[in-house]
């Protein structure tokens, strides 16, 4: 499932070159050439889904696991002090490309990136109204649990390529 | 006892004790100190929006926007790399579902998902959590993400540094053309996939489930996606 006009689908299809650092059957990890920091990577599904809600659950789980691994690799390989995992979903949220992506951003002190907010003062009543609305709607939603994999696989945190022991080794370390 | 009530000797003794604790005991210790573990156990009140055996979603009491949610594993993990793969998969599936929930019930048109790993990234709590922030046009929220020009040389080096063994064999060469910079021209028009209904049922995975109503709010995800293609 790809879209011929989508630049990211063209990267997936190898029609447009890119600095790919990770690839498997489902996901691609690409360095952002205009990243907020060197090492800023975005993880995309190979299939074309414009927004988060359209990505199937199995792919969501996998994509964020890849993001976690890339975050660990950034800690491991670059002198950084933190990482953000950041999704802009929809125009008001800052999404610019109509192909779902997860940003993994290396962080340093005073790096000019701001993902903080000033808390909004909401009254008790407004908080309760929001709570009820979300709760009511959430009750109609079912979060599917993916089949549990054998714990052995989880321990080694293998992505989906077979020969990734190199990477898996890093996961057991805490940055 | 708060740290300031202890004298230096006691602090030292406590530090020593923590240092020598076996991992299991240390985890228990952190858990007792963790305000979010107390929220999960119900000792501290919160506004709970969603809960299952692995995950809890509550409203942030210092919200960036109305409906700002925190998605947490019930198990205590301080940082993301400690979390088992299947739990990560589940937590972000919950994020997706709750984002959909916010779109349908709060009249918002988007969401941000933010995880902070490390203090420099903005991590404040000792319990891993995912922020889900509903977004509307002109909601007063502004995140800044500078765009920098990185040289080809820097990018190539970083690519080599970060590339994974498994991926390397499939790697593409970035020579010839310069890679396109993002964001992409606004002319993209995406033919869009069909609306995804709120999750098919799987009986064994959920205890008390109601059948999801197809006509819940008349919100069409495609509308949100379509704007992306059109703008």
Task: Return the residue of B nearest to A143 by Cα.
Answer: B94
Chain B: closest CA distance from residue A10 (Å): 11
pTM value is 0.77
Chain A: closest CA distance from residue B39 (Å): 16
Q: Tell me how far CA of residue A56 lies from CA of B31, B96, B198, B223, in angstroms.
A: 33, 10, 11, 18
pLDDT greater than 50 at residue B143: yes
> For chain A, which ranges sit under pLDDT 50?
147-175
- Could you state, in order of their start, the residue ranges of all structural domains in chain A? 7-171
Tokens 């409203």, residue located: B59
Q: What is the pLDDT of residue B29?
A: 78
DSSP letters for A27-76: EEEEE-TT-SSTT-EEEEESS--SSGGGS-HHHHHHHHHHHHHHHHHHHH
Query: B150 CB near a chain A CB, below 8 Å?
Result: yes
Query: What is the ipTM for the molecules in this complex?
Result: 0.83
Tens digit of each residue's pLDDT (9 = 90 or more) over B110-131: 999 999 999 999 999 999 999 9
pLDDT greater than 80 at residue B200: no
pLDDT greater than 60 at residue B58: yes
Cβ burial of B76 (10 Å; 0-12, 13-18, 19+) is: buried
Tens digit of each residue's pLDDT (9 = 90 or more) over A151-170: 332 222 333 333 333 333 33
Task: Return the residue of B nearest to A76 by Cα.
Answer: B162
The three-point CA angle A77-A79-A81 to 5° equals 115
pLDDT greater than 50 at residue B191: no
Query: What mean pLDDT is reported for chain B?
Result: 78
Q: Are B162 and A21 in contact (CB under 8 A)?
A: yes
**Looking at the domain covering A7-171, what would its CATH class be?**
alpha beta
Please tell me which residue, B128 or B177, carries the higher pLDDT value.
B128
Tens digit of each residue's pLDDT (9 = 90 or more) over B13-49: 878 887 887 777 777 777 778 999 999 999 999 999 9
How far is the first Cα of chain B from the last one, in angstroms, to the nearest whole number? Answer: 56
Contact B228/A142, CB-based, under 8 Å? no
Q: Measured between alpha carbons, how far is B211 from B228 in angstroms, rounded to an integer?
A: 31
């Amino acid at each position: 499932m790809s879209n011929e006009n989508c630049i990211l689908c063209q990267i997936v299809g190898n029609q447009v070159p890119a600095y790919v650092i990770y690839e498997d059957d489902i996901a691609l990890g690409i360095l952002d050439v205009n990243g907020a920091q060197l090492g800023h990577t975005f993880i995309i599904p190979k299939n074309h889904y414009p927004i988060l809600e359209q990505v199937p659950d199995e792919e969501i789980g996998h994509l964020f696991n890849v993001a976690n691994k890339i975050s660990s690799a950034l800690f491991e390989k670059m002198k950084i002090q933190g990482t953000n995992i950041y999704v802009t979903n929809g125009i008001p949220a800052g999404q610019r490309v109509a192909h779902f992506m997860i940003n993994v951003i290396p962080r340093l002190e005073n790096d000019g990136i701001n993902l903080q907010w000033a808390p909004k003062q909401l009254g008790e009543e407004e908080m309760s109204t929001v709570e009820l609305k979300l709760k009511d709607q959430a009750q109609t939603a079912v979060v599917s649990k993916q089949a549990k994999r054998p714990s052995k696989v989880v321990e080694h945190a293998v992505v989906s390529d077979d020969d990734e022991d190199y990477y898996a080794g890093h996961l057991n370390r805490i940055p | 006892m708060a740290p300031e009530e202890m004298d230096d000797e006691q602090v030292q003794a406590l530090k020593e004790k923590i240092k020598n604790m076996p991992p299991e005991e240390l985890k228990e210790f952190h858990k007792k100190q963790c305000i979010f573990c107390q929220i999960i156990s119900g000792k501290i009140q919160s506004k709970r929006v969603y809960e299952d055996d692995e995950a809890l979603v509550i409203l942030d009491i210092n919200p960036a926007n109305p409906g700002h949610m925190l998605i947490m594993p019930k198990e205590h993990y301080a940082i993301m790399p400690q979390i088992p793969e299947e739990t990560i998969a589940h937590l972000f599936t919950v994020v997706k579902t709750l984002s959909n929930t916010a779109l349908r019930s709060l009249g918002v048109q988007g969401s941000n998902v933010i995880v902070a790993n490390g203090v420099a990234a903005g991590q404040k709590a000792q319990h891993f959590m995912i922020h889900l922030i509903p977004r509307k046009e002109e909601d007063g929220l502004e995140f800044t993400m500078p765009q920098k020009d990185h040289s080809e040389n820097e990018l190539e080096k970083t690519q080599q540094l970060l590339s994974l063994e498994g991926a390397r064999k499939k790697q593409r060469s970035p020579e010839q053309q310069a890679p396109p910079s993002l964001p992409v021209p606004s002319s993209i028009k995406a033919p869009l996939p069909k609306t995804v209904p709120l999750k098919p049922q799987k009986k064994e995975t959920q205890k008390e489930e109601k059948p999801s109503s197809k006509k819940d709010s008349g919100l069409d995800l495609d509308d949100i996606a379509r704007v992306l293609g059109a703008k």
